[in-house]
Amino acid sequence: MKSPILPLLALGLSACATAQTPAPQYGQDRTFRDRAPSEEVVYFVLPDRFENGDTSNDLGDFTGDRLATGFDPTHKGFFHGGDLAGLTQRLDYLEGLGITAIWFAPIFQNKPVQGPAGDESAGYHGYWVTDFTRPDGHFGTREEFKAFVDAAHARGMKVYMDIITNHTADVIRYLEGDETGYVYRSKGDFPYSRRGGVDGPAINPGFMGDEDRSADNFAKLVDPSYAYTPTTLKSEADIKVPAWLNDPIYYHNRGDTTFSGESSRQGDFVGLDDLFTEHPRVVKGMIDIYTGWIRDTGIDGFRVDTARHVNPEFWQEFVPAMLETARASGIPNFHIFGEVYRDDHDNGYIAQYTRRDGFPAVLDFAFQQGIREVVSQGKGTFILNELFDGDVLYEGGEEAALGMPTFLGNHDMGRFTTMLRWDNEDIGADEMLARTKLAHAMLLTLRGSPVIYYGDEQGFVGDGNDQAAREDMFPSRTESYNDNDLIGTDATTTASNFDRAHPLYRLIAEFSAVRRAHPALSRGKQVVRHYEEDAGIFAASRFEPDTGREYLLVFNTTGSAKSANITVGYDARSFETLAGSCPAAVSAPGSAAFTLPAFGWAVCRVSEVAE
């Protein structure tokens, strides 16, 4: 990309005059509402595991033992006591880390405990919703939620809610379920027109199937017993809010998903009640629920759970309704990003959800996999070139890719540190810390909206994924967490872990500050400059969106020092070092020589260009 100043007059470096330009600054009149999604540094947190600010709500709205209340801080699958009050009390800590947006796991009222006898767990994670209209009693009240949002906004920090439209808690059972194992029953074998299979008695006369999504057609779907006969316990018959959610007609009722084919969108997600999202009443009901949260609380975005398990037509109505409501509420940059899980650095699969389904963004699982492959698995850095080449596939292309939330690990797949241990059997703590630092340097400078998974800044190293990756930040009583060796510290999870001197906390804070000071690193176009067939150097340039000034990012993914000549704009003459180690000047027009230490990086701003 050519810098918008006078063109280069001569090829010889010494023959060219130079001009120095100060680093760009954000306008002082901007507010947090004006920031584009790509400008955010996001912190993803499970409220239950962050800070217990109010012990009086530890049992939620329930009384009794752990199976009634869901509270057992010694068990990794139960509530531990974190809440909205704790999040509010720790906003200083997040602000010091450089966080500009907080995304938290769902806070809606959940069924406290689910699961077969002897294998129960609790809804501490928030994905087993019974009441979509209020926070879970374990987390606090609706008033406390609004107070948290207001407190975050007062600091210029956005708030992203994690929402679910695909399913509710597991309340509906099937009379035939125990004998069949709740196996998925397809539309071909069990059409809507017959009860219990193609040879069963006729039901739902005139219903023309779920492809006709008109209200008139769905008014003829009155009997939900086409595949299974749904039933609920009397004690749970009216447990869901809003009340329409208690009617089985608004669920698919076809058995458990196999996560492939037809069942991916119509099956129960690990037994959770799968909403009939083709039904116009369900579409309207979900739109009413979530537009209400936008209007009432002024939140700034939604992360959408299990997005790929919902039919595209639902999103084609839902997403525009959310964006329109946000604009009308004075939230012009409301961010919606869908969870579309795929462990592949080729982003073609996840990109389809921005084109067909209409999501403005999706969680960038391709980025996560690409960074894992080059930083943890030692694969060639060409993988990142392949990843970023695919940005043209998103609706809106490379510009849209700037707003994709990028991340290294999460509450489902596990922490990046855990993956390092999986991928490198004999890895030591020092190397784990070095590789983790490198991964965060890449996360916070390459294109996308970086997401920090809570606890990563304190060197947490989980035992695995899911429950094993959801440690407590406040003093933990969970044995399987407390025996973990953290990196960058001698602390364990038996103590409170909000150490602002932790090397990862400091690194993230420093890179966040650089990112905020230089819009090229958040809003600037990215061009890959160098990659290799093996582990080694990867480099990319980013360009200041208003002036076109170039920034050069260079990373070494190996455990030994590496050198390379990196392509740079032909008008570049000298560099200012923002992080790592940059050369003072180019070697020749169009080329700069870099030598980086093991797992090192350089973030360089072109400070002088040819007149």
**Residues labelled catalytic:** 305, 339
Q: Could you tell me the CA-to-CA distances from 487 to 9, 327, 412, 431, 433 in Å, in that order? A: 52, 43, 21, 10, 6
DSSP state of 374: I
Cβ neighbors of 324 (< 8 A, separation 6 or more) are none
| CA 31 centroid distance within chain | 24
- C-alpha 159: how far from chain center: 13
Cβ pair 86, 151 in contact under 8 A:
no
261 Cβ contact list (under 8 Å, min separation 6): none
Q: Which residue in 456, 472, 552, 545 sits closest to 509, CA to CA?
A: 456
Phi, psi of 303 (to 5 degrees): -95, 130
Strand partners, 273: 168
Going by their DSSP bridges, the two strands 601-610 and 18-20 should be labelled as antiparallel
**Rounded Cα gap, residues 387 and 110, in angstroms:** 38
> For residue 436, how many C-alpha atoms fall within 13 Å in the half-sphere facing its CB?
32
Distance of CA 160 to the CA centre of its chain: 10
C-alpha span between 482 and 479 (Å, rounded): 5
DSSP 177: H
CB 274 within 8 A of CB 167: yes
Whether 241 and 132 have beta carbons less than 8 Å apart is answered as yes
Asked whether the beta carbons of 265 and 306 are under 8 A apart, the reply is no
Burial-class residue 519 by CB neighbours within 10 Å (0-12, 13-18, 19+).
Answer: buried
Helix (H, G, I), strand (E, B) or coil at 318: helix
Q: At what angle do helices 429-443 and 416-423 cross, to 10 degrees?
A: 130
Q: DSSP strand E in 239-353: where?
A: 273-274, 301-304, 335-338
Overall residue count recorded for the chain in this entry: 611
The Cα 130–Cα 173 span in angstroms is 15
Distance between CA atoms of residues 578 and 260, nearest Å: 46
- Phi, psi dihedral angles at 596 (to 5 degrees): -115, 145
Helix axis angle, 312-328 to 280-297, nearest 10°: 30
Report the distance separating Cα 591 and Cα 283, nearest Å: 55
